[in-house]
Amino acid sequence: MKTEITENGNQLIAAFIGRLDTAAAVQTAEDVKPLLEVSNREIILECSQLEYISSSGLRIFLSIRKEAAAHGSKVIVRNINADIRQVFMMTGFISLFEIQ
């Protein structure tokens, strides 16, 4: 699992590459810490290369959303595949995030 964070104007883009499973969650949580401290920005969670997400990965997405809302930032989840979309629908995450 790899997480790459880039900046594009007012956007912070976190690209998730690989499988966000329980084993990868600890490092991923560490990798996304910069996203938890920004204010009044748009945070893009780019998932075009995310193959799988576990409950641990969902918790990371939820913590990003919670901190972003507290700091006046907006979170957008982009390019999820059909399997991850199904997980989002089953868990109710589909209504918590703006999905593009």
Domains and CATH numbers, the chain: 2-99 (3.30.750.24)
> Looking at this protein, which amino acid is placed at residue 100?
Q
Residue 49 pairs in a beta bridge with 17
Give exposure, 26-45, as e/b (b: 16+ Cβ within 10 Å). eebbebbeebbebeebbbbb
**pLDDT per residue rounded down to tens, the chain (100 residues):** 999 999 999 999 999 999 999 999 999 999 999 999 899 999 999 999 999 999 999 999 999 999 999 999 999 999 999 999 999 999 999 999 999 9
Residue 17 to residues 62, 64, 69, Cα–Cα distance (Å): 18, 17, 25
Residues in the chain: 100
